[in-house]
Amino acid sequence: MMITDVVHSYKNYVKKIMDFNEAIALAEWDMRTGAPRKGIAQRSEVVGTLSDEVFKRSTSDEMKGYIDALTNPSVQEQLSSVTKRMVEESQKTYDRFIHIPSEEYKAYVILQSEAQSVWKEAKEKSDFSLLQPYLEKMVSFKRKFIEYRGINHNQYDALLDLYEPGLTAETIDHVFGKLRSRLIPLVKEVIASKNQPDSSFLTTSFPIENQRALCLHLLKEIGYDFDAGRLDETEHPFEITLNPGDVRVTTNYQEHDFISTVLGTVHEGGHALYEQHISRDLVGTPLCEGTSMGIHESQSLFFENFIGRSKAFWSHHYSELKRYGSGQFDGVSLDDFYRAINTAHPSFIRTHADELTYPLHIMVRYDIEKALFNGDLQVRDLPGIWNEKMKEYLGIVPASDREGVLQDIHWPGGDFGYFPSYALGYVYAAQFKHAMMKDIPDFDNQVSSGNLHIVTDWLSRHIHQFGRLKKPLEILREATGEGPNPDYLIQYLSAKYKDIYQL
């Protein structure tokens, strides 16, 4: 068989795997946005069956044959860059799963769905004990899957590699250590400042229907394509991609905390813009998605913080906000509004955290995950160590599991190793902004004029279009000229909050 025929056959084989993944994504979106609770168990079985098919195809003898044929050095010279990266991703998946028994992987996928459903009940009742046995099984599965790959030490690095290829705990320790050493003192200065912004008008009633209309408007303003997506309501906001032509976002409307709703929606919109702008040439391949969770978070946090919390953005949209509001902004100047939405103080809920304290929330989770997979911590200890870390980094202690260890869905979903991506994404976003300013020196003027397409075009050229064709550190270095560097985020936060709090 000629090599062109092998490549064609391989791509068709991979396309079927991607079709299964799209069906799984649709089922998961439905479960998280309104599927009847009594149907969750059966739907979980369906997702398990589809995932089992993906697993079997990804680790089949046929896949192994394609990998062996297309990794031959003489053949590699004839392959396009896209095909080479496809094969590289296929081999990585094959190596990750080949030693896992099929029935165990299916059981794990079913556990994921069940655990996320139980998490909702545990959170409602603020009772960690309901979720504990599911998390214990989840951690056990994770450990076994890592050991099947022959990894008996540095298990947490193996988890990180799933979300941040090329990064290790050693690198993250350095980045987070530098951030923490600067942020904790700055947070204390902010708390002690006598120039606290008045944010009382942010908690007055903002009709839900008006919030929905405002969120739809702002998503359109940042460039979200509603012909390729939709906005729904869920307990925990998220973005999910079926394909670049169907990228969905959700939000959580809160009558007395509209700014969290708005910024959360813009955050998910940033994720969606990334996925909607991936090159259509990559559709049907494993490269048609964000290159890492950290790069993905850089896009959502860029739009949430560097756009959505900026004075330039609201100078263009403040009159529109007043139109949707119920009079609470009458007599409130743009400067006062800007200071209000950027107030900083320690809080319990990560998704509602201000941009100054947000990285510390991530460090709490990162420290816990490392200890859990290094054998220094048991699942039953999570509520206690959570509260200890919150006290150490943020100076506050949750009064309940609901506002503490149960607030996030990531661990019930099996996403251990994911949390560092949030803070890394913030670091990357600051680096991208610094690099972007060289090409768009009048950045604030463009944003205040409503010309966000100039910003989005820059991001698409340097990041979005490539999907997974380029690796995360490759994209970071090509766009910014360096690896992970927290200095730009430290400079941004220091300058901004010293100005707001007149330090």
Largest CA distance in the chain: 76
Instruction: Take residue 177 and report the two structure tokens written for it.
Output: 């250590």
Is pLDDT above 80 for 185? yes
**Which among 135, 153, 106 is positioned nearest to 406, based on CA atoms?**
135
pLDDT of residue 483: 95
| Residue 93: C-alpha distances to residues 111, 421, 477, 488 (Å) | 21, 20, 25, 34
pLDDT tier, 397 (very low <50, low <70, confident <90, very high otherwise): very high
- The percent of residues in the chain predicted with pLDDT above 70, rounded, is 100
Quick one: fold of 169-500? Neurolysin; domain 3 (1.10.1370)
Average pLDDT, stretch 404-409?
A: 95
Lowest mean pLDDT among 118-122, 152-156, 157-161, 437-441: 152-156
- Asked whether 324 and 482 are in contact (CB, 8 A), the reply is no
Which H or E run contains 297? helix 293-301
pLDDT of residue 40: 87
Return the residue matching tokens 């959505």.
Answer: 308
pLDDT of residue 10: 98
Instruction: Take residue 22 and report the two structure tokens written for it.
Output: 């799209």
| pLDDT tens digits, one per residue of 348-396 | 999 889 999 999 999 999 999 999 998 899 999 999 999 999 999 999 9
Is pLDDT above 80 for 46? yes
pLDDT tier, 102 (very low <50, low <70, confident <90, very high otherwise): confident
How much of the chain is helix, strand and coil, in % rounded to 5? 70, 5, 30
SS3 296: helix
Instruction: Sketch the domain layout of the chain as residue ranges.
Output: 3-152, 169-500
pLDDT of residue 175: 97
| pLDDT tens digits, one per residue of 280-294 | 999 999 999 999 999
State the DSSP string of 179-244.
HHHHHHHHHHHHHH-S-PPP-GGGGS---HHHHHHHHHHHHHHHT--GGG--EEE-SS--EEEEET
Average pLDDT, stretch 175-181?
A: 97
pLDDT tier, 154 (very low <50, low <70, confident <90, very high otherwise): confident
- Asked whether 233 and 251 are in contact (CB, 8 A), the reply is yes
pLDDT tier, 306 (very low <50, low <70, confident <90, very high otherwise): very high
pLDDT tier, 317 (very low <50, low <70, confident <90, very high otherwise): very high
pLDDT tier, 452 (very low <50, low <70, confident <90, very high otherwise): very high
pLDDT tier, 36 (very low <50, low <70, confident <90, very high otherwise): very high
Average pLDDT, stretch 165-169?
A: 93
State the DSSP string of 125-179.
HT-HHHHHHHHHHHHHHHHHHHHHTT--S-HHHHHHHHHSTT--HHHHHHHHHHH
pLDDT of residue 375: 87
Give, as one character, the DSSP assignment of residue 401: S
Average pLDDT, stretch 101-109?
A: 90
Is pLDDT above 80 for 152? no
Strand partners, 247: 241
| pLDDT tens digits, one per residue of 201-251 | 999 999 999 999 999 999 999 999 999 999 999 988 999 999 999 999 999
State the DSSP string of 64-110.
HHHHHHHTSHHHHTTS-HHHHHHHHHHHHHHHHHTTS-HHHHHHHHH
Which residues are identified as catalytic? 268
Is pLDDT above 90 for 1? no
Please tell me the distance from the alpha carbon of residue 313 to that of residue 207, in angstroms, as a whole number.
Answer: 22
- Asked whether 338 and 311 are in contact (CB, 8 A), the reply is yes
- The percent of residues in the chain predicted with pLDDT above 90, rounded, is 92
pLDDT tier, 407 (very low <50, low <70, confident <90, very high otherwise): very high
- Asked whether 6 and 70 are in contact (CB, 8 A), the reply is yes
| Residue 237: C-alpha distances to residues 23, 24, 101, 163, 441 (Å) | 21, 19, 33, 20, 33
pLDDT of residue 273: 98
Instruction: Take residue 410 and report the two structure tokens written for it.
Output: 């990531």
What integer best gives the mean pLDDT of the chain?
Answer: 95
| pLDDT tens digits, one per residue of 255-274 | 999 999 999 999 999 999 99
Instruction: Take residue 398 and report the two structure tokens written for it.
Output: 């949750």
pLDDT of residue 44: 87
pLDDT of residue 378: 96
167: left (phi over 0), alpha (psi -120 to 50) or beta: beta
**Which among 72, 95, 96 is positioned nearest to 84, based on CA atoms?**
72
